[in-house]
């Protein structure tokens, strides 16, 4: 494919860059590399643990780059015929084989239209199907029996994502695929970015746009708890940022059901254990349970209930000191009673949330 024949959307890398920055929290470096790779007609592979924003970034690329895209979910049932396309048996019976009986699959469509072929979970795709891609990626064309050659129109590129630790139903993708792609390793994001991601996900569940300083502080601790699961000596795989999102939303909803502040230990610990215990994987032979690990980390990170009301939470910068962390249980319960469970007032739940 000649670099001089770029479709319009890719020549304006700056506009695409700005658009991606709106959808994706942080990840500036990765966004720049993706845009550069696509502008240079390279295929791209994003590789990283769950919840690190691979799909978020690729979905944004697909929607914002201004070219057609074909989405393919990688799984064991993705046969070459499902990826490439196949002849319609009924029409073959009446008309005989020919180009008109061919029903193009996502690969044929993307090649024909010069679009993006967006492959999720590429390492779940059977090797036989991946082999079809190998030729297409380097030669820019596909040969279909009784149809002939389908050449890649300018703009055809492949973007793929995979989680290398995903051990069930997956295989390592071949060196041939790696040799035809630019790889971007996606590690866990910074604590600040994870807090921002949680904030965006939780926003529909809170009435106030700004959860206030104490709400932000609590969110930072939830993120800290989730990040601590990745460092715990007994934990092989820690939780993704999805765990932090679930923890905060669950605490909010549970607080409403129990008519207690969502940040009170009697609510937040249940939320944390439920949100995180299934997401962590302990080392083989560990004598611990996932629940006990989460409770241990919870007690380390939330030394006492933080039921500070937002209204007295200071300057809104999130820098003000914690209030009440050193009170005993009785005082905490008393302090919580009768207070709005800031930052999630009881009436905050929105319909359908």
Contacts with ligand ATP, residue ranges (CB under 6 A): 24-27, 48, 50-56, 161, 163, 197, 201, 241-242
d(CA 17, CA 20): 5
Report which residue's Cβ sits closest to Mg ion: 55
Q: Quick check: 98 and 108 in contact, CB under 8 A? A: no
**Which option in ligand ATP, Mg ion, none does residue 241 bind, with CB closer than 5 to 8 A by kind?**
ligand ATP
CB of 225 to ligand ATP, least distance (A): 16
Cα–Cα distance for residue pair 38/45, rounded to 1 Å: 11
Nearer to Mg ion, 243 or 255 (CB): 243
| Residue 137 interacts with, from Mg ion, ligand ATP, none (CB under 5-8 Å by kind) | none
Smallest distance, Å, CB 327 to ligand ATP?
35
Q: Is 56 an interacting residue with respect to Mg ion (CB under 5 A)?
A: no
DSSP three-state, residue 195? helix
| Distance in angstroms (rounded) separating the CA atoms of residues 59 and 53 | 10
Q: Please give the span between the terminal C-alpha atoms of the chain, in angstroms, as a whole number.
A: 47
Cis bond leading into 343, ω under 30°? Answer: yes
Instruction: Decide whether 49 or 345 has the Cβ nearer to Mg ion.
Output: 49
Q: How far, in Å, CA of 269 to CA of 256, rounded?
A: 15
Give φ, ψ of 158 to 5 degrees: -115, 130
Identity of the residue, 200 or 300, whose beta carbon is nearer to ligand ATP in the bound complex: 200
Window contacting Mg ion (CB under 5 A); options: 48-56, 207-215, 255-263, 267-275:
48-56
53 binds, among Mg ion, ligand ATP, none (CB under 5 to 8 A by kind): ligand ATP
Whether residue 46 contacts residue 57, with contact meaning beta carbons closer than 8 Å, is answered with: yes
Cβ of residue 142: shortest distance to Mg ion, in angstroms? 26
Nearer to Mg ion, 59 or 221 (CB): 59
Site size for Mg ion (CB under 5 A): 2
Query: According to the binding rule CB under 5 A, does residue 55 interact with Mg ion?
Result: yes
Q: How far is the CB of 66 from ligand ATP (least distance, A)?
A: 21
Residue partners of 148: CB distance under 8 A and separation at least 6: 99
Share of the chain residues as helix, strand and coil, in percent rounded to the nearest 5: 50, 10, 40
Minimum distance between the CB of residue 233 and ligand ATP, rounded to whole angstroms? 24
The strand pairing partners of 72, in sequence order, are 119
With CB under 5 to 8 Å by kind, the binding choice for 197 among Mg ion, ligand ATP, none is ligand ATP
Helix (H), strand (E) at residue 120: strand 116-120
Q: Which residues of this chain interact with Mg ion, rule CB under 5 A?
A: 54-55
């Amino acid at each position: 494919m000649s670099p001089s024949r770029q479709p319009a959307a890719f020549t304006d890398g700056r506009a695409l860059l700005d658009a991606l920055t709106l959808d994706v929290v942080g990840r500036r470096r990765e966004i720049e590399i993706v845009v550069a790779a696509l502008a240079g007609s390279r295929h791209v592979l994003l590789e990283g643990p769950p919840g690190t924003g691979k799909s978020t970034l690729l979905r944004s690329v697909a929607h914002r780059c201004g070219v057609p895209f074909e989405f393919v979910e990688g799984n064991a049932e993705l046969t070459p015929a499902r990826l490439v396309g196949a002849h319609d048996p009924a029409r073959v019976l009446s008309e005989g084989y020919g180009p008109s009986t061919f029903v193009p699959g996502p690969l044929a469509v993307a090649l024909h239209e010069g679009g993006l072929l967006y492959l999720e979970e590429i390492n779940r795709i059977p090797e036989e199907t991946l082999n079809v891609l190998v030729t297409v990626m380097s030669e820019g064309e596909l040969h279909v029996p009784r149809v002939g050659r389908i050449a890649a129109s300018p703009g055809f590129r492949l973007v793929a994502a995979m989680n290398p630790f995903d051990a069930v139903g997956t295989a390592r993708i071949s060196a041939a695929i790696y040799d035809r792609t630019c790889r971007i390793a996606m590690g866990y994001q910074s604590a600040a970015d994870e807090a921002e991601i949680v904030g965006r996900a939780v926003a529909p569940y809170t009435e106030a746009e700004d959860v206030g300083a104490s709400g932000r502080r609590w969110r930072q601790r939830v993120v800290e708890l989730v990040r601590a699961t990745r460092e715990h000596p007994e934990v092989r795989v820690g939780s993704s940022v999805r765990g932090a999102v679930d923890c905060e939303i669950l605490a909010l909803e549970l607080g409403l059901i129990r008519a207690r502040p969502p940040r009170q230990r009697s609510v937040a610990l249940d939320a944390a254990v439920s949100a995180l215990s299934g997401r962590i994987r302990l080392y083989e032979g560990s004598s611990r349970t996932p629940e006990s690990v989460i409770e241990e980390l919870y007690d380390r990170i939330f030394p006492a209930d933080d039921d500070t009301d937002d209204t007295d939470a200071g300057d809104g910068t999130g820098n003000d000191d914690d209030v009440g962390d050193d009170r005993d249980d009785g005082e905490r319960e008393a302090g919580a009673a009768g207070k709005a469970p800031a930052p999630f007032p009881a009436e905050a739940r929105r319909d359908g949330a």
